[in-house]
């Protein structure tokens, strides 16, 4: 066997040590399943085997679960729901054969066991977990649009009850050793050197071990079906609560509820067939493909820097941050937490000190939540030095400018900083809209000038948009990506253009919201449709957050730069002007599209209806959702066509992680592929005829649709 080390000791206990070659962590690959089937058959039939202990030969953990690289291709390979059902049922039957072998089997879990890995543990009669905070267990399949397909939805409720199981399955969270023991997910937690020994001793002491659900008269703890005392909460209110969260965009949570409800009222073998059927329909669908591809495969690739310049990343040991406002102090905090010394520079010494105080407040919250010790917080804060003198950045490896979004102000700090920086230092601008090539004109070293666009709040937002200017060198790009890796954030790389990528997508979203408002679409319909589509917030609410004043400045800068009409946001500009003239600047002024009473939640301003009389016949929710999503997807396609984006994965990762684009879609380009390029083009033409040429697809996109040329490579 190539994936399992199998040996039988003098007492007849089989040691089954899983070791998938070429993988840093064990995952279920077809070869492992084949080897496991052979092992199970040996345990069942060989008289010299009295019992078995399953463990891992890798120090990294037990089994991390299924091979997502295989699952992500299922939809593109047109794997049918029936085929997917049969595939997972095969694994499920191997596990079932193990637990009914007539011999005791224990799991010696020497590290994390997730998904299918923990399902294999559940099929063992006893589970011993190492006492290590990294050794988590759980069934996180819902996070990739799936459900546990090898018995997890059926064995776990039979072990700990339906109510507690549902919470774990729907959250998909990982559970540490102490909590796992308390909940009954494992039977013992022991020191690392005792894991295998403890499991083996249990096997020797329990020759007649049997799963509780295979004992005649077994009943699921706390009951099943509609008559269980928790039924109203779990399957009544629970269904409504789940729909409020998922907006019916994510099929996996609903499938989990149905699967548990139906399966727990059946004998286990029948229940496993029910589970496999639900799993098959999910794996064959597009949502699982989208979630796995964007949030796991492509995000992980971006985190590792795959496809980026193969040049050495010199680590940043000292960072200069120019501007100590919310963004600047957030960047300083992220760098200091990562072990980098930071000079937080601001022309106003009091502002610089306030920036450090914000960092102290963030660290204080970490300490209060038990996530950081007092000493650790003190060490992080000591790495931040507030200053008002440009000379203080003289020995910095990299400088990030985070001053006001004004070309003249940025030009001034570029000149002053570069006058004292080492010749090898990189200068990065945190601008979200001003072209990097234009700003680089103020630099004496344009090859070492780059855009590093953080998202607010920096301490919570993982995405960083890296903008390559006309003269930016590959070495500068490599060093910038190395810096982002130090911060443990996720980068996307885009080429310079007005608005880059994320700002273009963001503006298309909020502008379409304002266009609909001006047309007479009810404000509440616009906002609610956005949330029902899966957007993090509505276009009017998010415009209030970033401020209408900032949007006006961006438009005015675009006009001053002589940008083409499509960059001037002609549908949004009149709405923005009208509200600003009324003093409604957004949340910061206490009023914008919304009102912000001190003693109540924010609410849409009633005056919007008078300002923009509503249509007598309102559009459907589906039409509003379509307009808001399609305009963003269309803008992403334009960014590919124009060469702003060179990697389609960056479009999806950037939209989901930076802008709150619905994760069920996989991102802007994955949405187009989910709809189908041909259908998308036809629908955009219809929208263009009704609402304006901004929806009109380009000839490039039409040709791509006609040739059925997807953005992502399709698996054969």
Return d(Cα 713, Cα 716) in angstroms, integer. 9
| Residue of 250 and 237 predicted with greater confidence | 250
- Examine the pLDDT at 455 and tell me if it is beyond 60: yes
pLDDT (average), residues 518-542? 97
Residue 307 is predicted with a pLDDT of: 76
pTM of the model: 0.93
Catalytic annotation, pick one of 75, 125, 174, 453: 453
- Taking the domain 318-497, which CATH number applies? 3.40.50.720
Return d(Cα 33, Cα 18) in angstroms, integer. 11
pLDDT-derived band at 715, boundaries 50, 70, 90: low
SS3 337: helix
Q: Quote the CATH superfamily of domain 4-284.
A: 2-enoyl-CoA Hydratase; Chain A, domain 1 (3.90.226.10)
206 assigned to active site: no
Angle between helical axes of 668-675 and 648-659 (0-180°, round to 10): 110
The kind and range of the H/E element at 635 are helix 621-641
Query: Over the stretch 288-314, which tens digit does the pLDDT of each residue have?
Result: 999 999 999 999 999 998 878 888 778
Of 378, 353, 354, the closest CA to residue 366 belongs to: 378
DSSP secondary structure letters along 128-139: EEES-TT--EE-
Choice among 234-248, 285-299, 426-440, 584-598 with the minimum mean pLDDT: 234-248
Return d(Cα 151, Cα 123) in angstroms, integer. 8
Report cis status (omega within 30 of 0) of the bond before 457.
Answer: yes
- CATH 3.90.226.10 residue ranges in the chain? 4-284
- Examine the pLDDT at 716 and tell me if it is beyond 60: no
Strands (E), 447-553: 449-454, 463-468, 490-495
- CATH 1.10.1040.50 residue ranges in the chain? 503-706
CA angle 433, 696, 508 (to 5 degrees): 30
DSSP 8-state assignment for residue 587: G
* 16 DSSP β-pair partners: 6, 54
Return d(Cα 346, Cα 453) in angstroms, integer. 19
Return d(Cα 231, Cα 157) in angstroms, integer. 14
| Residue of 423 and 564 predicted with greater confidence | 423
> Among the CATH numbers 1.10.1040.50, 3.40.50.1370, 3.40.1010.20, 1.10.3720.10, which is that of 503-706?
1.10.1040.50
Tokens of 77: 């390979």
pLDDT-derived band at 563, boundaries 50, 70, 90: confident
Return d(Cα 396, Cα 582) in angstroms, integer. 45
Q: Where are the alpha helices (DSSP H) in 520-620?
A: 523-533, 539-546, 548-560, 573-581, 608-611
**What percentage of the chain has pLDDT greater than the value 90?**
88
Listed in sequence order, the residues at least 6 apart from 203 whose beta carbon sits closer than 8 Å to its beta carbon are 13, 50, 51, 52, 53, 104, 105, 106, 126, 209
Strand order in the sheet with 463-468: 384-387, 341-345, 318-322, 398-401, 426-429, 449-454, 463-468, 490-495
| Residue of 56 and 407 predicted with greater confidence | 56
Angle between helical axes of 548-560 and 539-546 (0-180°, round to 10): 80
Residue 182 is predicted with a pLDDT of: 97
Query: By the 8 A CB rule, do 94 and 37 touch?
Result: yes
What mean pLDDT, rounded, does the chain reach?
95
**What percentage of the chain has pLDDT greater than the value 70?**
100
Return d(Cα 341, Cα 363) in angstroms, integer. 16
- Residue 78 — left, alpha, or beta (φ > 0 → left; ψ -120 to 50 → alpha)? left
**Max CA distance (Å), the chain:** 88
- CATH 3.40.50.720 residue ranges in the chain? 318-497
pLDDT-derived band at 565, boundaries 50, 70, 90: confident
DSSP secondary structure letters along 425-437: -EEEE--SSS-HH
| Residue of 361 and 306 predicted with greater confidence | 361
Query: Over the stretch 141-150, which tens digit does the pLDDT of each residue have?
Result: 999 999 999 9
- Examine the pLDDT at 567 and tell me if it is beyond 80: no
Angle between helical axes of 502-519 and 621-641 (0-180°, round to 10): 150
pLDDT (average), residues 693-704? 96
What's the Cα-to-Cα distance from 581 to each of 558, 560, 576, rounded to whole Å? 20, 21, 9
| Residue of 114 and 569 predicted with greater confidence | 114
Sign of CA dihedral 132, 133, 135, 137: positive
* Polymer length of the chain: 716
Which residue do the tokens 């009023």 mark? 591
The kind and range of the H/E element at 594 are strand 594-595
| Residue of 504 and 433 predicted with greater confidence | 504
Query: Over the stretch 653-667, which tens digit does the pLDDT of each residue have?
Result: 999 999 999 999 999
pLDDT (average), residues 271-297? 97
pLDDT (average), residues 241-265? 94
Return d(Cα 692, Cα 535) in angstroms, integer. 23
């Amino acid at each position: 066997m190539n994936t399992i080390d199998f040996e039988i000791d003098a007492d007849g206990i089989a040691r089954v040590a899983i070791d998938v070659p070429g993988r840093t962590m064990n995952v279920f690959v077809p070869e492992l399943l084949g080897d496991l089937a052979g092992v199970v058959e040996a345990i069942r039939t060989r008289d010299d085997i009295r019992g078995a202990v399953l463990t891992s030969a890798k120090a990294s953990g037990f089994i991390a679960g299924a091979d997502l690289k295989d699952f992500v291709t299922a939809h593109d390979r047109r794997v049918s729901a029936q085929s997917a059902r049969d595939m997972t049922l095969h694994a499920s039957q191997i596990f079932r054969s193990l637990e009914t072998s007539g011999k005791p089997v224990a799991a010696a879990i020497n590290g994390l066991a997730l998904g299918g890995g923990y399902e294999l543990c559940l099929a063992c009669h006893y589970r011993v977990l190492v006492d290590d905070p990294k050794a988590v267990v759980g069934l996180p399949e819902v996070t990739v649009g799936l459900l546990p397909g090898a018995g997890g939805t059926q064995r776990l409720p039979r072990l700990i009850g339906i109510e507690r199981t549902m919470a774990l399955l729907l959250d998909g969270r990982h559970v540490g050793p102490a909590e796992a023991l308390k909940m009954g997910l494992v039977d013992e937690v022991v020191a690392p050197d005792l894991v295998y020994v403890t499991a083996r001793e249990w096997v020797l002491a329990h020759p007649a071990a049997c799963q509780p659900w295979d004992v005649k008269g077994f009943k699921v703890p706390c009951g099943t079906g509609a008559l269980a005392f928790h039924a109203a909460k779990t399957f009544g209110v629970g269904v409504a609560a789940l729909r409020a969260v998922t907006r019916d965009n994510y099929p996996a949570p609903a499938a989990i509820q149905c699967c548990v409800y139906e399966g727990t009222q059946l004998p286990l073998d029948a229940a496993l067939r029910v589970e496999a059927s639900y799993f098959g329909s999910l794996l064959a669908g597009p949502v699982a493909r989208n979630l796995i591809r964007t949030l796991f495969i492509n995000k992980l690739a971006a985190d590792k820097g795959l496809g980026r310049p193969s040049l050495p990343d010199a680590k940043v040991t000292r960072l200069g941050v120019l501007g100590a406002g919310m963004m600047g102090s957030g960047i300083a905090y992220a760098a200091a937490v990562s072990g980098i010394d930071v000079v937080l520079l601001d022309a106003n010494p009091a502002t610089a000190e306030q920036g450090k105080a914000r960092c102290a407040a963030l660290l204080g919250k970490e300490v209060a939540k038990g996530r950081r010790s007092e000493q650790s917080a003190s060490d992080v804060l000591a790495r931040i030095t507030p200053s008002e003198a440009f000379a203080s950045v003289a020995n910095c490896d990299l400088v990030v400018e985070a001053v006001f979004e004004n070309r003249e102000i940025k030009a001034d700090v570029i000149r002053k900083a570069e006058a004292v920086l080492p010749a090898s230092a990189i200068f990065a601008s945190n601008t979200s809209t001003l072209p990097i090539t234009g700003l680089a004109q103020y630099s004496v070293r344009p090859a070492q000038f780059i855009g590093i666009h953080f998202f607010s709040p920096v301490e919570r937002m993982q995405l960083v948009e890296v903008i390559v200017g006309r003269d930016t060198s590959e070495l500068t790009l490599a060093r910038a990506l190395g810096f982002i890796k130090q911060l443990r954030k996720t980068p996307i790389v885009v080429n310079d253009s007005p608005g880059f990528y994320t700002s273009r997508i963001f503006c298309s979203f909020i502008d379409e919201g304002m266009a609909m408002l001006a047309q007479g679409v009810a404000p509440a319909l616009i906002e609610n449709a956005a949330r029902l589509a899966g957007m993090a917030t509505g276009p009017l609410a998010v415009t209030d957050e970033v401020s209408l004043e900032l949007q006006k400045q961006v438009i005015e800068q675009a006009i001053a730069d002589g940008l083409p009409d499509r960059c001037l946001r002609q549908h949004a500009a009149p709405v923005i002007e009208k509200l600003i003239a009324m003093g409604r600047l957004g949340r910061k002024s206490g009023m914008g599209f919304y009102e912000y009473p001190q003693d109540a939640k924010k609410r849409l301003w009633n005056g919007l209806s008078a300002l923009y009389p509503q249509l007598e016949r309102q559009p459907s929710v589906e039409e509003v959702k379509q307009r808001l999503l399609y305009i963003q997807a269309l803008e992403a396609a334009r960014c590919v066509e124009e060469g702003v984006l060179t990697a389609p994965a960056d479009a999806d990762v950037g939209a989901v992680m930076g802008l709150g684009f619905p994760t069920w879609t996989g991102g802007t380009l994955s949405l187009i592929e989910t709809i189908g390029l041909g259908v998308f083009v036809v629908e955009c033409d219809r929208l263009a005829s009704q609402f304006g040429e901004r929806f009109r697809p380009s000839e490039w996109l039409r040709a791509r649709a006609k040739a059925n040329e997807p953005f992502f490579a399709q698996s054969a």
